[in-house]
Structure 1
Amino acid sequence: MKNTNAMTLANSEVGTIGVADYKQKKFEVEGRMIKTLLVLFILVVSTLHVSAQKTVVLDAFSKHGIDAGILSPANLQEPDDYAFDFRQTTIAANKTTVTIAKFDPSGPKEEQWTVISVNGKSPSKGDISSFRKNKVKEGASGQADDASYKIEKESADYLVVSYKPNATTVSKDAAFMKDCRLYMTINLKSCKLEQVQALNEKPLKIKILNAEKLDLITKYSYNDQAKRYFPVNEDLNIQAKFMGQAVNVQTVTERSNFTKK
């Protein structure tokens, strides 16, 4: 069945071609798809930072003694004044790509990110250029839609607040995020944010993918000395279709060893 589908696809694109040529073309397409997915990850993460503040949310924070600074973009973004280790694993199209890098804000702007390895090998100039270019895209952050705030859950242990991105502040490439709702989970014992989860409310068109499900969970660690949150883990899962075939995508990002510079 897979061979039949492969020949059908090959015939529709370039006529009757050899199996070797088709495999090469398929390899190139999968490579482009993985690069697109890495860009997608950047776009999704860049919309998770809240700047608007809703009265109902602030009232709940006041009630539980939660610092309203939790809604500040600076408290949720990747820090730009701390050095840290970075590891990202992307699984898509039966391929796994592991990128290990370091961030050091004390270096020149264009060299603050150092790519150490890609799949255990020294990175190419293209790997380094692509990685740094994608990281620059994280600079822009979206805002929350004031009218979309909800208190989803309020128990003895947790407060869950949800909101939707403001469509007017989301970049064109990340327009699909307007159809997602984000859920902030706050531990009421510690009064600290634990995670933010983004879930789609309807099917999404994400560049070359038709996504049926998008689920991104960002977990945070609060540093008492720095008095700020660090995003330590991000897990992005997408169930989509590409060229009529089911595609499951997972990108896991880990940050550690934060050091003030």
Structure 2
Amino acid sequence: MMALMKNEWIKAWHGRKIWVFLLVLAVCILLGSILTGFLLSFSEGELGGPFFLLLGFTTLVPFVNIYMVVQITGAIAGEYRSGTIKQLLIRPVSRNKLLFVKWFSMSILGILLISLLVLILYLLNMIFFDSASTWSAMGGQALEFIYLSIPTMLFYLFLAALFAALTRSTAVTIIITLVPYFFGGLFNILLEFYEWPKWIVLTHLDLVGLYGMGDVGAVFMTTPFERSWQSILFILLHVVVFAVIAHILFKKRDVL
């Protein structure tokens, strides 16, 4: 299985251009650092603390989620389009194992990207922009951001895997998977007036905004459940369902 995982990571690095995405992230972080320094110079101390960490996190983590959708879509639907899926299926490996390797490899990659991004933002925030907070306090905040970001990333990744196995179309999969990004916030608004939206998974996807902002988040958003782990469990339940259906479809669909 390690050979298959290595093969997926090589294709992701060279074929789906991870290094280009990392370069774009680096440029965005550099521009964000310049912007933050400019804003702080006029804020007279009003901005500070975790400002750079929050700004960078809320801006860039959604791009990581979108990029992971592109990655898993390319790993499944893209291989159908290019015909390379046939080269994998002639190996003495089950289809379930092949799909498992694909989503597991991409899940590890997504977790590493989010962790690396938050670590860099945390270090820059503490070194250049935050002289009041302690390293341990901001470190705890950074770890919480990672903890709350991973379930959402996995939701989009597995949803994309499901539609990639269903449609075998890269464009259709990406478009359908990203619909929650545009309409998920509507359910958070409805939650202010009704109780039923808390049973819609889209209401839970902004875990950082719901549970990671403390009193600030509570002012603008109503939490669907009392504790963050309940929302995380609710999201992961959907992830498991997506994975099971994707495996069934991947096993039964004709390659041709």
User: Scaled by the length of structure 1, what TM-score is found?
Assistant: 0.30
Bigger relative contact order (CA 8 A; separation at least 6): 2
User: Scaled by the length of structure 2, what TM-score is found?
Assistant: 0.30
Q: Between Structure 1 and Structure 2, which shows a larger proportion of helix residues?
A: 2
Q: Between Structure 1 and Structure 2, which shows a larger proportion of strand residues?
A: 1
